[in-house]
Structure 1
Amino acid sequence: MDLRRRALLGVDGLRVLLMLFHTVTRIMAEQEVENLSGLSTNPEKDIFVVRENGTTCLMAEFAAKFIVPYDVWASNYVDESHNTSKGPEATWKLSKVQFVYDSSEKTHFKDAVSAGKHTANSHHLSALVTPAGKSYECQAQQTISLASSDPQKTVTMILSAVHIQPFDIISDFVFSEEHKCPVDEREQLEETLPLILGLILGLVIVVTLVIYHIHHKMTANQVQIPRDRSQYKHMG
């Protein structure tokens, strides 16, 4: 009898291949991936860069985790969770994700049935679409489903706190103007809309008070014409 279990994995020690395609340019040459997390000014985030012939062509800052379902033999083991955060007109986008994992690795996969290396790939992916020359930023959580070579298994990739940019990178840790994801833009609008409405209401009140004050002052300065005719002076 076998049971189904899920492993929650960080990207540490796992090989994740992110392939980004520009509408015109593709990165074809051999590349080197470098972890710059130790140089980051923010200890809670990690940064990875991809260099080609000494030139930075991709910079990524992100947190990621993978939920991998697998079958196990019935046992008394208690599931463990492992979560390690790692970072990382024309447009660029994320068009393919390939995730390689080994279910025979006992740290994350206990008593796995048919243990071995598996590859999970995305299909027809079009994510992180961003105008050329800008970086993509999204604090909200995003989920991408990957079809695994392990039969009838779907790996879930969860991204958050993403800041990524290919091409046109001036220097390490320096991103171009941010292109925010729709979720972040909506949340920002929901936060600022009450403030904007409050400012407009306050402005309307101030304008009303000023108009009332001016009208009252002009009325007070007008000459009052007596209504009793006896108060008029006779001429002659």
Structure 2
Amino acid sequence: MSLSASYRLLTPLLLLGFVQVILTKRFEVKDGTKICLLAEFSANFSVSYDTTAKKQGIVLFSLPDDAHKSSKSSCNNMTAPLLVVSFGNGHSLSMNFSRSNISYKMEELTLVLNERDSTLFHNSSKADLFITSRSLDISAKLNTSYMCMSDSAVYMQNVNVTLSDVQWEVLPPASNFSKNKTQCQADVPTVAPPTTRLTTLAPTTTASPVVKNPVRGIYNVSNKNVTCLLAEMALQINISQKTGNKSTTKIFNINPHEISASGNCSNDQATLQLTDASTTLIFQFVANATLSNFYLNGIVISTSLVPSRGKEFKVENTSLHYLQTTLGKSYMCQAEQVLQVTSNVSINAFELHVQPFKVENSKYGTVEECQMDKDDMLIPIIVGAALAGLVLIVLIAYLIGRKRSHAGYQTI
């Protein structure tokens, strides 16, 4: 798996397969009857790979229901538990732990992917195993379970792994976790310091300059020379950051004249990737054959326009549910639509028209309008009906009044 210079694998959150509910799995590693490691977590993955068309593909999936503890898992004399989780067609996720007299830690995460698995890696140019790992230091005290409900992203070569709903413990007291917890920093609520007139400064906000509405771009994705995704939209990225006591907001438009569009499609997933010199933006759609609909479930943003600790700013969310539409139809929204990616990142979409599945003859299917457009059309109808009713009431009152005035006179 080579990573091209123009493509950067983007960010934290991810999804394995396209299950509607992200599964939290429980695993036990034993030496005889003694449990040396008890772990519960869900895992999402984002993987970039080379395709036979010499393009970068991206696949998002989450730990599936068939995930199970591999026989390669071991307690290693109770000092270095190893959990190996096997899933799918030859894939595995491994966690290496170690312990001392007072604490334990998860010190390495390893992912093995079988690129021969065409259900995940459509048109992959490789046919071998890809192995990548990352050293970590996730520590907790003995006789406590480590808990982290928040998403924790791990970046590796061509791969992002996001762990969530995590709870694990080395040498648990029984078949369940200790009552005492070591809580991750991300789960600790932020407590604002008490305000005093002498010491507290009001946070300052740097106003972003006024940005004009973006220009609408027209994009399409083809699979074997057949159009499988159509999209037209004007896009604006909004990123808020806070450094110390200062808040800043960066707003910038996606210029369709400087964008390179690519992507891939399958029966249940479609990806549109927009890339320019400074920014990569990925939209991930999934299809639900049971409910006969599709929706936008993932957005990935990577940009050098917003520095983040000396690196490019990266963010991803693959648990979204936007733009839901019936399969075979297209979604349209002329009104501005805010696609919230995280609490501090959003995409403002204007003049949106998209269809990622069942595109026939390279043309959009029947349009399903967003509720905002329907409301915009409904308001003038209601106002018009109210005015017509008011005119009718005035006319009836006038006729009744005129009739009564004539009744007061006698014919001579």
Which category describes the TM-score, using the shorter chain as reference length? Answer: 0.5 to 0.7
Distance 1:30 1:141, change over 3 A: farther
* Structure 1 position 146, deviation (Å): 2.7
Residue 192 of structure 1 is aligned with which of 377, 381, 397?
A: 381
Kindly indicate whether the alpha-carbon contact (under 8 Å) linking 1:96 and 1:122 is maintained by their aligned counterparts in 2: yes
- RMSD value, Cα: 4.3
Deviations 1:119-151 (A, max 9, x none): 21125210000111110001122222334xxxx
Q: Which residue number corresponds to residue 91 of structure 1?
A: 293
TM-fit CA distance, 1:168: 2.2
Q: Post-superposition shift, 1:199? A: 6.2
Structure 1 unaligned residues grouped into runs of 5+? 1-12, 32-43, 74-78, 103-107, 148-152, 209-236
Structure 1 Cα separation of the partners of residues 382 and 317 of structure 2: 37
Question: For the structure 1 residues 178 and 28, does the alpha-carbon distance in structure 2 shift closer, same or farther, using more than 3 Å as the test?
Answer: farther
Quote the residue 1:48 is aligned against.
219
More strand by share: 2
Distance 2:19 2:292 in 1: 8
**Mapped partners of 2:8, 2:312: distance in 1:** 12
Identity of aligned residues (%): 21
**Which position in structure 2 is the counterpart of 1:132?**
327
TM-score by length of 2: 0.33
Measured in 1, the distance between the counterparts of 2:8 and 2:334 equals 23
Give the CA deviation at 1:115: 1.9
- Cα distance, 1:118 vs structure 2: 3.4
Q: Cα distance, 1:195 vs. partner?
A: 3.4
Q: How much has 1:51 moved relative to structure 2?
A: 0.8
Q: Which has the larger radius of gyration?
A: 1
State how far apart, in whole Å, the 1-side matches of 2:311 and 2:388 are: 61
Secondary structure of 1:125's counterpart equals coil
**In the alignment, is residue 122 of structure 1 matched against residue 317 of structure 2?**
yes
Q: 1:146 to 1:204 in 2, by over 3 A?
A: closer
Contact 1:90 1:132 survives alignment (8 Å): yes
**Pairing of 1:15-94 with structure 2 (within 5 A):** 29-30=122-123, 45-70=216-241, 82-86=252-256, 89-94=291-296
Deviations 1:98-128 (Å, cap 9, x if unpaired)?
11122xxxxx44xx46221232112521000
**Which amino acid in 2 is paired with 1:194?**
V
Distance in 2 (alpha carbons) for counterparts of 1:94 and 1:143: 13
Return the TM-score normalized by structure 1.
0.53
The alpha-carbon deviation at position 56 of structure 1 amounts to: 0.8
Structure 2, gaps ≥5 residues long: 1-5, 21-118, 125-214, 260-271, 273-290, 397-412
Q: Which runs of 4+ in 1 moved over 6 A?
A: 13-17, 199-206
2:372 aligned to which of 162, 175, 183:
183
- Does the Cα contact within 8 Å between 1:138 and 1:181 map onto a contact in 2? yes
Residue type of the alignment partner of 1:98:
V
Distance (whole Å) between structure 1 residues aligned to residue 352 and residue 319 of structure 2: 21
Write the distance in 1 (CA, Å) between the matches of 2:365 and 2:120: 19
Q: Secondary structure at the match of 1:29?
A: coil
Residue 154 of structure 1 is matched in structure 2 by: 344
Aligned partner letter, 1:83: N
Q: 1:84 to 1:129 in 2, by over 3 A?
A: same
Match of 2:356 among 166, 169, 174: 166
Query: Residues 137 and 113 (structure 1 numbering): CA distance in 2 closer, same or farther, change over 3 Å?
Result: closer
- Provide the rounded CA distance (Å) in 1 between the counterparts of 2:7 and 2:299: 13
**Higher helix proportion, which one?**
1
Residues in 2 aligned to 1:190 and 1:14: alpha-carbon distance in whole angstroms: 45
- Mapped to 1, the partners of 2:295 and 2:313 lie a distance apart of 25
Given residue 301 of structure 2, which amino acid in structure 1 is its aligned partner? F
Counterpart of 2:221, as a letter, is V
The alignment covers a number of residue pairs equal to 163
1:62–1:162 contact (8 Å) kept in structure 2: yes
The code of the aligned residue for 2:330 comes to S
Q: CA deviation at 1:175?
A: 1.4
Between 1 and 2, higher relative CO (CA 8 Å, sep ≥ 6) is seen in 1
CA contact (8 A) 2:236 2:251 kept: no
Helix, strand or coil: the match of 2:122? coil
C-alpha separation between the residues in 2 aligned to 1:60 and 1:113? 30
